[in-house]
Structure formats: structure tokens, C-alpha cells
Amino acid sequence: MCFLLCSLFPEDYEIYVEELVRYAWGLELYKGMGSIEAVRSEVLAAMDILRNSCLLLNCGERHVKMHDLVRDFALWIASNRTEFSFMIKSEVVELWPKDESFEPYKAVSFKTSRIVELPKGLLCPNLKILVLGGDKKMTTSSEFFEGMTALKVCALNSRLISPDAFQFQTNLTTLHLESCKLLDISVLGQLKKLEVLSFSCSDIKELPEEIGDLDNLKLLDLSYCEELQRIPSQLIRRLSKLEELYLHGCQLLKWATESTVREERFASLSELNSFSNLIVLSLEVSSEDIPRDFVFCKLQRFYVCVGFDFSDFYGLKMDSEICPFSRSLKIGGSIIEACKQLFKDTESLNLKDMVGYPNLVPSLESGQVVFSKLTSLGIESCEHMKCLIDTTKQQVLTNAIPILQSLERLEVKSCDEMQVLFQIAELRSIQQGPRRHVSLQSLKVVTIHNCNKLRHLFPTYVADSLGQLEALNISSCLELEEIIPKTEVSNINLQSLREVHIAESTSIQQGPSYHVSLQSLKVVMIYNCDKLRYLFPTSVAESLGQLEVLDISECLELEEIIPKTEVSNINLQSLREVQVSGCSKLTSLSSLSHGQILENLRTLHIWNCSRLEYTFPISMAEGLPQLNEVRLQRLPELKGRDGNDIVLTLPSLQDLCVDDCPQLTPFIISAKIQVLQFLDMRERKQSCNLIVPKLGQKLSNMEYLTIINFEELFDGGYNLSSLKELILGDLPELRVAWKDPIQVVNFQNLTDLNVYRCGRLRYILSPTIARNLPQLSSLWVNECEELEQIIEKDGQTSSEGHHLQPIWLPNLTEIRIYKCENLKSLFPKSVAYGLPKLQSLTVRNVSKLEQVFEQSGDEANGSEEKEKVIQLPQLGTLGLEKLPNLVSFSPVGYHFVFPSLQSLSVTGCPNITTSFSVDSEQSGHAKTEAIRSIDENIVEESTRAQQTTWPIGSDMGGAVGNEVENTPFSEEGDEEMNLTFRRCQWIKQLLICCSISQTFVPTS
């Protein structure tokens, strides 16, 4: 039957198993079970069987999902067998089925988000379970339920519940109201057979007194009722059969304390101890709510969070969701005594801000099991705690069970006095006793943060039990010297350790000691360990065959990753990513190989290593068949020869960034590169260009480029057909990127071109290159002070240029030009015809810019017989900002049309003469007239200059078919402007940055 219950939920729904438990209880699927906990065990067992049979999918700790095909099969069974007879509508129902009889159905499940009104007087005499889901608050009244006399389980989601809704449902056993708005629920006190009642996430401010009349109630769920403020005094005590109570997530709920005024009559936590049957409790309260001398009674399952800030509670939501299945304690402050009855069975324990406790276990009694069930332990900001376990003053019997034997996760944070995790001085003197008094045989994850007096983590006898450890995270432990101290013991086998993260532990001088085996280690990340001289001794490195990621940063004393030895058997065959930064004493990476190849290395990032001269020796560099991404940044001593040349010419290399490596020129790179970045190359040795090696090959087959310096680039025949992204930045000597005449094979796949802070660059693209960029989609140019042109003008005169192939950039979608002080125009007007996909054009802080699309001198002085129209069909964003000398966007006699314009920003352009308008078909327009009539505009300015105009009668708001998002106007001056807008009902935002005498003056 649990299998069929899963079909009540929509497709791809993650079914919370606890919902099935409550439905199963209400339907009496397990008759004879005396408690909900017993039914829960049966449902969990059924879920295991269904998962193992592949009828359910596992998704999370307590959730399952039913595959669509399996669900169809379950629905077929449920719909065709009279003993079940389900009606399921998994899709959103728009209309309630009117012509269909509900009499035979025992289960109905609908998602009713689009139904306006529920029907009245439905005849459903056999209906046992009703599930209505949705996301729209729809009123649910008694008239809908009155024909459901046999209803036992009702689950409603996002309903507006009227006061009399359930007055006829006297047979209800389970009522589940989730995310509902509850107007008056006092009538529920009449449902004497109700045993499971849930108001989870519902809008309820006070639990009515009548709920105390539910004599048979076994489960009450008020979780995440964020508006709940009051439970009446003694109401909880009256629910004498209550087995499970859920109160987590009720951040406004108040409890009676010694200082509470009697008239307020709040419930007290002491009422919880009046139940003989209460075995499951979830609760989040402040330490002030705990009555004096109060102690929680013994519970089977619990989630108790005391003394944490309410802001912390919602990070714990996942823990509390699985409350019926967990034993979790979260205690803030010094109120441990209230929870002492729960310690023995606790599985998850978090302690925070405890004062006066020097250790977690102050003493061990003979044969006592201490925290034997604990799987997760977190200690934070316990300022007096010096260790977790202290056994120095105890005589431990030989039959004692190991402490923490089930612990899987350990987290210790901000314990300033913590010196050792386990006090071991006396333990060494009783080695004739049990070998392990603290056994971490189940430990998988360790996180230690900000414990500045901690010198080492695990004594040897404890480390010997760490065979299941998978992840080790250490940060900000300033005095930590070793993970495991050196001893005569050999072969500590950390066979499961996969990840090690160590950061800001400035006293560590070397990696793991020689006797540790790390055969499963995959990821090592070491940051800010100032005294670390080497990472792995040779004997440890020989076990690193599974290492995949190595990331070392800011280790100032690091000289070698692995010390060199004459004989070694090191083979890092799985290493695929190496990142090294801020290691000022490291001179090469040769110690990674010890003569072996790194056949799986794909990514190499090295930056800010002031003494690094070489990456790998030649023999090793030749054995990097999969290396495809190399970033070399801020390496002042890196040389352009030997192994470095081999690395940069590998045929597999696709992404190369060279940034501030002044000694690297000349060097060779692969012409098959896809992403190429040259950044901050300031020091030039000689005046040569980027050329192709004369290897006797045809131009179309050229595979390598030689970088000699960064004054002129790409002067020669070459093939860069693989290049997709080119970034040139901080190249103060670069004068020319492309120089014509040039034999271009192709740049057919270049999509992104970004040029910034190239102070001497005069133009970005040569005409030949501009005609051969079919895939270019993004062009960014920023802070190029001497830039005169984006595309260099053709060498021929205008009278001769008619036969030249026009410049066509068919896929260019975005142009951004910022802070290029010497640029007077963006493009010749002919380029505008070749921008069919341009979506965004932004020009900002270009102080000398006069024209966006430039017109020739002849056209400027003459007149056009007929106006020429140029369309930018996809232009959605146009920004012209802080351009003090801008006169025109479009040449005189040319009419630009923008059918897709969504955002127009023209600010800080006091001399612009172009008018922008919108027609009735919602297309934007830009025109520059030789002689303008101010009477035709609705924007009038003083004699300085006019900024932006919209012709009278134009519908500026409807312009932009997808609605104008921003329409800024700005005037840099004190002159007064008068703006009048007509028919602008669609404008979402209007920004006016100038002096205006009146705003929104009524017009006749």
C-alpha cells in the first residue's frame, strides 16, 4: 500500500517519507501498531524494499522519488482495483471534473492551482484520503467536505481554511494543513478521533484552547509556523496521549518563565515532562526560556536547539526536517544540565559559547559508554575548553568500550584555549591496558578552524584508527606544527583520505611525516602556510598515484613540492590540475615529476612566484599530451627557453594567458590556441614583430607563432582558425595589433576581443582583419589613450574605395568603448550596414568623440537628395554617456531605425544635435538634420546645446515594444530646461539629471 500512496504525489516530486508515515497511520495500514514510531519503522522498511527493487529512487536522506513509468503502473493498479480505486490528477487542474462521479473513489489527489472555486456538496461516501495541492490560497469550506463522511486523511496545501470547514469530518484521523491561512480553527477541537494534526508552515498566531480537547491526539506539528506567538498555559499538558511534538521554526513563540506575568498565561516547557508517552520532540528556544532546574525527559528521537540565535535556526532547517529520524542537540551557552538525559543517545551534538567547561568528557567511569552513538560533533567558541577528551586522571578498565567509535564528522571552531584534541599524557603510561581508549574508526570529515594554541591534531595511537577519514580541513591555526607528531611507529594508513585543505597555519614547516600512506588522496589545497618548506617527503609522495588537484598559494618559504632524491618511485599519473601562487622561493616545478611524465595534466596556473625560472624540464614537458590551459602571471624570472618553449607549443594547448612575464620574450606559442591573453608585458628587448617560424610549411598549415616583443603583433601569414578569445591588456608598448598589408588565412572562430590599457595603440582592427571576423560577437575597448580608430581606414581614397569589399560583422552583438580620450569617431557609416545582430552599444567617457558613425567630408558639406535609411534591427540597448564633444550619432542625411530598442541612455552630451524619436509602430529613430527647428522638438534647452529630443506627438513610452526600462536625460550645466512628455504611459523609469523649472506640467 505504501507503493500506491507514492502515486498520490505529482510527477518528479520528492516525497518526504514522513508524510507517508502520517498517511499510513491515518489509514490504519498497520493495524495493531501501538505507536506512530512503530508505524514509522514499518514504512521505512517498506521504502528500503521498494528502493532495493528499483521501484523508488533515492533522493536525499529521507526523501524518495517515483519514476514516471513506475508511477503510471501504480496509477493503473490504483484505478482498476476496486479495493483501492484512486483518482489522481498530477497535472494542474483548471476545472473541477463536473460530470464524473466520485462515489467509488477511496483516494483523490489533485493539484488545483488554477481552480477558482471548489464544488459544493460532492458525494464521496467511500473517500478515505484527500490530497489537494497548489500554490494559490483558495477558500475551503464545509460545503466542499460535507459529502465525505468516511474521510480519514485530509492533506491540504496553500488553502484558505474557513472556520467551519471540518465540522462534519468526525472520522478524521490525520489532518495535514501545510502553508494554509487559518482563520479560526477552534472547531477542530470537536474532531475527537483526530490523532495526527499538522499546521506546518501555516499562518497561525495562537493555538486555540479547544485543541486541548483532542484527547486522542498523538502527533502535533507546528513546525515553521513563523507567526505563532502563544500556546495557552496547560494546553500541552492536557494532550495526555501525545507521542510527538514538533515546534522548530517558531521564532516568535513565547514561553512562560519565572519572570512571566501570570495574566499572560503562556505554556511552560515544564509541561513537556508531564507526558508518559512523549518520545519525539523538536524544539528551538532561547536559553532564557528554560525554567530553573528543568531537565528534558528521556526521548527516543529529538531535535533540541537551545541558546542559539534565531538567525542561526534557518541554517539548521535540513536537520530539523529529519527530526523524526534523528537525535540532535544544539546547545548554546552553559545550560548543558538541562539536556543531560539526552547525551547518552545523542547522534549529533553542537556546543557553542560554553563557559567554564575545560573539556567535553571530564571523567570516565568504569565501563561506561560515552558518546558511543555520536556521529557528528561540533564545538564552537567555547573559550575555556582545552581538549575534547581528558583521561589523564582515570584508570580505564580493559573492558572499556572506545569513546567516539561512531563519530563521522568533527568540527572545532574558535576555541582559543584548545591545546590538544585528546589529552594523552597519561594514556601513554597505560599501554598495557586497552590499545585504544579514543577510537575514531568511523571518522570521515574533520574541520578545525581558528584554534590558535593547537599544536597537533591526532596522537599516533588515535591516528592509527583513522582508516575511514575522507576529508581534512584546517584553517587559521597559527601554532599548529604537525597533523600527526613524529614517532617510531611506521605505516599509519590513511587509506580513505581524499581531500586535504590547510590554510593560514603559519607554523607548519613540512607535510605529513614519512610513515603516512595516502593512496586515495585526490585533492590537496595549501594556502598561507608561511613556514612550509616542502609539501610531501619522498616516501609519502610515492603513494600519491591518485592525486588529481594540487593548489599551493602564499607559502613564502616553499622551496620544493617534493624534495629531490637520487632514487624514487614517484608517479603522479592522475594529476590533472596544478596551481601555484605566491611561493617566492620556488624556482621550478621539476620536483613534481622526478623524471616521470604527467600524462593527465590539463591545467597549469602559476602566478606571483618571483624566483620561478622554469616550469618543467624538457624531458618532462614533452610528456604533457593533455595540457590545454596554461596561465603564467607575474613571473619576473620566467625564461623563454628549454621546457617552457615545449609547454607553450603543445598541440593540446587551447587557453593561454601570459601576464607580466618580461623575461619570457622571445617565445613560441601554438597557433591552435583558442583563448589567448597578453597582459602587462612592459619590458621589450628589441623591435621585432610576432612572426611565423620559417618551417618550410604552407601558410595554411602553420602551427606556431613566435612572440618577440609586444610593440607590434600579428605581422605575417598565419593561421589562427582555432582562436576564440583574445585579450590584450596592460601592454603600454603595443602600437599595432594587426598591420596591413597582411596575408590572412583566417580568424574565423574569434568570438571575443577585449583590449584595455594599451596606451600607445592607434587602432584595434586593420580593414583586412575586420573583413575576416565572421564569428566576432563581443568587442570591448577600455582606457586606450592614443586610440584614434576602432577600424583603420582603408589606404585608398574615397573615390577609389567603392570597389572594396564592405566590412561585415554578421555576429557582433555587443560593443563597449570606455575612456579612449583620442577617439573622434567609432566607425565609418558603411560599417552600420554590416551589424545585423548588434544588441548593445555603449560609449562612455570618450572626451573627444564627435561622431558615432562617421560621415565623409564631401557628405558633410553637401546635401542628400534622398534620405538613406540604416536599420540596426536587434539593437536593444544604446548608451551615450559623458561625451562632451559628441555632435551626432548618425551622419546628416542618414536615418537610423531601431525596431528592438529597450533602453536608451543619453547623458552628459551637451552638444549632441541628433534627435531620437519613436513612431506608432514602436520603432526608435535617430536623425541628424543639417538645420534643425526647435519648434519640432519637445525638449528645449538654452543656447549652450540641446541634448536629447523627442518630436511632438511621438509615443516615447510605447516605443520600445518590450517597454523602455531606463530613459535618462542629463544636462551638465546650470541652464534651465523645460521637458514635456506626451503619451509615455509605458515608461518604467525616467532619470533626469539637469535643472528643470517644472516637472509634469499639465498640457492642454
Mean pLDDT lowest for which of 191-200, 341-350, 598-607, 659-668? 659-668
Cell numbers at 552, concatenated? 599551493
Q: How many Å apart are CA 732 and CA 759, to the nearest integer?
A: 5
User: Looking at residues 474-496, what average pLDDT do you find?
Assistant: 82
Q: What is the pLDDT of residues 342-359, one digit of tens each?
A: 888 899 999 999 888 888
Q: Are 241 and 218 in contact (CB under 8 A)?
A: yes
| Number of Cβ atoms within 10 Å of the Cβ of 116 | 10
The reported pTM is 0.76
Q: How many Å apart are CA 386 and CA 362, to the nearest integer?
A: 11
At 995, the pLDDT band (50, 70, 90 cuts) reads very low
* pLDDT at 93 exceeding the cut of 70: no
Q: What is the pLDDT of residues 825-846, one digit of tens each?
A: 999 998 999 999 999 999 999 9
- Cross-strand pairs, 197: 175, 220
Query: Between 868 and 922, whose confidence is greater?
Result: 868
Return the CATH architecture of domain 2-84.
Answer: Orthogonal Bundle (1.10)
Query: Between 738 and 518, whose confidence is greater?
Result: 518
* pLDDT at 975 exceeding the cut of 90: no
Percent of the chain past pLDDT 70, that is, above it, reads: 75
User: Looking at residues 549-571, what average pLDDT do you find?
Assistant: 85
- Helix count (H) and strand count (E) of the chain? 15, 57
* pLDDT at 971 exceeding the cut of 60: no
- Listed in order, strand segments (DSSP E) in 392-509 are 409-413, 422-423, 445-449, 471-475, 492-493, 499-503
* pLDDT at 933 exceeding the cut of 80: no
Percent of the chain past pLDDT 90, that is, above it, reads: 37
pLDDT at 424: 59
Q: For residue 318, what is the DSSP state?
A: H
* pLDDT at 959 exceeding the cut of 50: no
Mean pLDDT lowest for which of 232-236, 465-469, 484-488? 484-488
Residues 6+ apart with CB under 8 A from 98: 119
Cα separations (Å) of 252 from 73, 212, 315, 552? 46, 21, 17, 47
Range 85-203 has CATH code 3.80.10.10: yes
Mean pLDDT lowest for which of 121-125, 294-298, 478-482, 840-844? 121-125
- Angle 154-160-165 (CA atoms, 0-180°, nearest 5)? 55
pLDDT at 554: 94
Mean pLDDT lowest for which of 59-68, 169-178, 497-506? 59-68
Q: Of 747, 752, 658, which is closest to residue 709 (Cα–Cα)? A: 658
* pLDDT at 280 exceeding the cut of 50: yes
Average pLDDT taken over every residue of the chain: 79
β pairing state of 63-65 and 57-58: antiparallel
At 426, the pLDDT band (50, 70, 90 cuts) reads very low
Q: Of 717, 759, 763, which is closest to residue 736 (Cα–Cα)? A: 763
Question: What is the domain partition of the chain in residue ranges?
Answer: 2-84, 85-203, 694-794+806-816, 824-856+867-1004
Residues 6+ apart with CB under 8 A from 913: 887, 888, 928, 929, 932, 945, 946
Does 767 sit behind a cis peptide bond, omega within 30 degrees of 0 on the bond before it?
Answer: no
* pLDDT at 917 exceeding the cut of 90: no
pLDDT at 911: 92
What percent helix, strand, coil does the chain show, rounded to 5? 15, 25, 60
Q: What is the pLDDT of residues 846-886, one digit of tens each?
A: 999 999 998 755 455 544 567 889 999 999 999 999 999 99
Query: Between 930 and 376, whose confidence is greater?
Result: 376
- Angle 23-29-35 (CA atoms, 0-180°, nearest 5)? 80
pLDDT at 520: 94
* pLDDT at 237 exceeding the cut of 70: yes
Q: Which of 673-682, 706-715, 848-857 shows the highest mean pLDDT?
A: 848-857
